Structure 1
């Protein structure tokens, strides 16, 4: 007889809600307080101020301990926060990264009850054997090794934790209430807590549905069907439900089990290269990636050739995607980087959702300009020699000190890349992460062999020398014209007594000019001046293509003024 899983009673709900609210209120308040202190100091021009990391670590250690006791969503929340460089500095983030390995399993009795409730039959009719000790435990579910009664195949059975829907709803309501309290009484314009809640809620509901996870696994299976270096386990369609998932069991060696890899004489450099290549393919070509690449989810498949190891991926609950619009904005960020155009980068970041409402784009633009200055002139060869940790730390400092927030997809991407850096370096200290990334990034950004002369560095140099003025000129002219048309700007021409129109002398001997024909002719006139001046400057500095472009624009503008007489 199937045993029904008891729901959480009202008293237990109240006790849990009180503990969750108290935990979240204190944790989010300390994070907010430190973020506010840093942002306010930097608004005053004091960039030396840093968050009090010791205080943050203290509160996060307490959060981790309580989250493990409360389980389910609090553990997931801690894992989610561990990806958020916009909320916490690096040392504080590390406090939460171990949560994945500290999750206690549920009783085997619950596993049996959940299986029988989903399939409406005794567990013995479904599996001829199922191990009582779980193979892996996560915040929302756990995995047991089993043998299918029908076929005799060895499988992994993933089962959700008890009362998952009820607990998720309760804890999300508590989180929403705490964020409402904080935003109600303090200024949170520089930290998007509501956006954080929306992102977290969406990712939780995606991960808690095993039907979605099964669809993700099948999509990865299709993506890598022709790649012998990558293996994706098969999902058993007959056994897919929202709360139980049956998938092929994979025997192998974890990526961080270096002793076992060496004992099997596995080429660790090949393991690192194949794993990172698989991820760059997901990021740059497929636009769909496995977002939880910790060593427990990536194996060297048993029976692999030592020189050609097969990499197997597991657990497809957390995934990320990069759309065409996101790709276009990412290209703009890249172009802004190589042309040192902080404005272009801020626009692209805003489109991607990094800059929330109420942010100060001027302050963000200045901060990005500082980063651009720091890395300006770095060659491709020098880029290969840079410490990725140093670059990451510079970006983290930028994110933490400014009103940024990281959309979940990019938080997943950042965590995936950070994890891959650690895994690949551990596997093979000489592994060159950037060297592997360059071909994928080049194709992703439209800088492949068809659009390059000799090397990526030459393309970057050409764009920097020949394209920067063209990129910035339309925006500058547009801004100038807008200000003139709206009456925000009065143009003064000094010592020009022959200029047509009404003149009013000012105290400096200049002249306020009114051009006949209204604001339309004024717009054309000043576009003509800007284009002509730019064209002359560019051609005299031997930038012929952009120079003749500007001179042509000036000619077209002059014709426009003639026809508007």
Structure 2
């Protein structure tokens, strides 16, 4: 049997297009207007100017309320924007931070129709029990508890909501149209709207493809196969399609159900430690992480030992990835932070995609230097006591007017870490986030014996290469000077009127001897040495740079002695 879901009628499509486009245009316009007001004020010398938080909060509250009414993609877009600290100040972001997926469930008839269409059998042949009431309803899908007829195993059945692909396509087309209008008439250079849309579209299509989610689950199973403290649900491959996903049912206690955790006898601090360790393993060691760690997606398994709680993760539709290049550049960024090198910090941020074209790199370096002077040298305890609202305000002041953006993968990881901090702190106020992170950060930065040995080898190799260059440079320069003075190398001169002897060769004037030849030689050495010194210092090659400066000084002395 193949059930048919009626399409959304044309009038409903027009109404939805109007509501979505109006909502997005007004929201983007207010954000852009406030940003431009602050930039103009700072150009006039008013560096204390800030965006009007009341205005931004008002428009984002309207966005949140309308998104809940429209559902589907608008809720996801609100969640996505809640991680964009490059677009909105912190107090405005809080309005969207609590935008949850909780929406009214689809009718049970729709659930049955999708199951029978996708799996090709009557629902009674597949499940001996299928609960009518869903256990979770989100903007893109919902979950029902069931029992497999063939094995008697209890499973979770995930089904997409009605019209999901049509609604997603409609809303994405509307968002693309709005971005076209904004870029044509406003050109908000503070954010790459096209890039933001591209990343948002990619993540949405991944999340509504349950075959992709099943593959994600299997990858997490492989990641944690040797860790008995972490549980990943089993996937039933014979019941997986693009619109249906059947996995093992996890009977557990949500992380924010503190009363139930204490009644079961679990140590909340140990639960927090194990949860955060699991995520740091994903971030730092594997580079593939569960990007939606809110309390509804993390459980403590019932029946696990009180002194040995097992943490279960569910819902793997939204994941993030850190490539090997991103990891290497992040290490470079951290080393630059340790060395307080603002130039290298900006360079690493540019490579990672945080800094767009047209940025004033000098201004960014100056601002980062100020921040380093303010926050550098803090102990771990002092860092944990930082007023992050003040830090966010400082960063906001630094970045306003600059094409600074957060790449989507880092937005996901930042949102995940922020959510994780809130979950762990709620579980155990005494939880020390930095103590748990430190061992993983050391390994990520290759601060173990193997990493230090490799770094030492690389440094030694670099020193040797620099040494070889410096040893051969004087001889090369001496040979060049000899060739110039002996006439083996031509130097072209226009309108030369000096007293030196000249000869014409193939229509060119070649200096071969005399005082002019000698002076020109030493001037050539001076200019090349000085330029090389400046260039090497800009690359932070101090030793080679100072050598070139010394050579330039000697060339000046040589010129004076020649006279």
**TM tier relative to shorter chain:** 0.7 to 0.9
Q: Relative to structure 1, is the Cα distance of residues 195 and 45 closer, same or farther in structure 2, using a 3 angstrom cutoff?
A: farther
State the shift of 1:450 in Å: 5.2
The residue aligned with 2:283 is: 283
Q: Which runs of 5+ in 2 are unaligned?
A: 467-496, 499-517, 557-563
Corresponding residue SS for 2:64? helix
* 1:254-282 superposed Cα distances (whole Å, 9 cap, x missing partner): 11111111111110110111111111110
Corresponding residue SS for 1:239? strand
TM-score scaled to structure 1, two decimals?
0.81
- Of 517, 521, 526, the residue aligned with 1:516 is 521
Q: Spell out the pairing of 1:325-364 with structure 2 (5 A cutoff).
A: 325-364=325-364
Corresponding residue SS for 2:99? helix
TM-score scaled to structure 2, two decimals?
0.81
**Distance between the aligned counterparts of 2:555 and 2:129, measured in 1?**
83
The residue aligned with 1:159 is: 159
The residue aligned with 1:176 is: 176
* Greater Rg by CA: 2
Q: Relative to structure 1, is the Cα distance of residues 550 and 66 closer, same or farther in structure 2, using a 3 angstrom cutoff?
A: closer
The residue aligned with 2:422 is: 422
Contact 2:102 2:139 in 1 (8 A): no
* 1:412-444 superposed Cα distances (whole Å, 9 cap, x missing partner): 111111111111111111111011111111221
* 1:140-161 superposed Cα distances (whole Å, 9 cap, x missing partner): 1111111111111111111111
The residue aligned with 2:268 is: 268
**Which runs of at least 4 in structure 1 moved beyond 6 Å after TM superposition?**
517-521, 546-561
Equivalenced residue count is 497
Corresponding residue SS for 2:143? strand
Contact 1:191 1:404 in 2 (8 A): yes
**Is 1:79 matched up with 2:84?**
no
Corresponding residue SS for 2:117? helix
Q: Spell out the pairing of 1:81-480 with structure 2 (5 A cutoff).
A: 81-380=81-380, 382-387=382-387, 391=391, 394-395=394-395, 398-399=398-399, 402-449=402-449
CA RMSD of aligned residues (A): 3.2
Q: Which runs of 5+ in 1 are unaligned?
A: 454-458, 471-500, 503-512, 539-545
Q: Relative to structure 1, is the Cα distance of residues 397 and 215 closer, same or farther in structure 2, using a 3 angstrom cutoff?
A: farther
**Distance between the aligned counterparts of 1:261 and 1:74, measured in 2?**
34
State the shift of 1:109 in Å: 1.5
Corresponding residue SS for 1:152? coil
State the shift of 1:392 in Å: 5.1
**Distance between the aligned counterparts of 2:175 and 2:338, measured in 1?**
41
Q: Relative to structure 1, is the Cα distance of residues 362 and 525 closer, same or farther in structure 2, using a 3 angstrom cutoff?
A: closer
* 1:280-307 superposed Cα distances (whole Å, 9 cap, x missing partner): 1100000000000000000011112222
Q: Relative to structure 1, is the Cα distance of residues 58 and 522 closer, same or farther in structure 2, using a 3 angstrom cutoff?
A: same
Q: Relative to structure 1, is the Cα distance of residues 528 and 186 closer, same or farther in structure 2, using a 3 angstrom cutoff?
A: closer
State the shift of 1:49 in Å: 1.6
278-287 vs 29-38, which moves further: 29-38
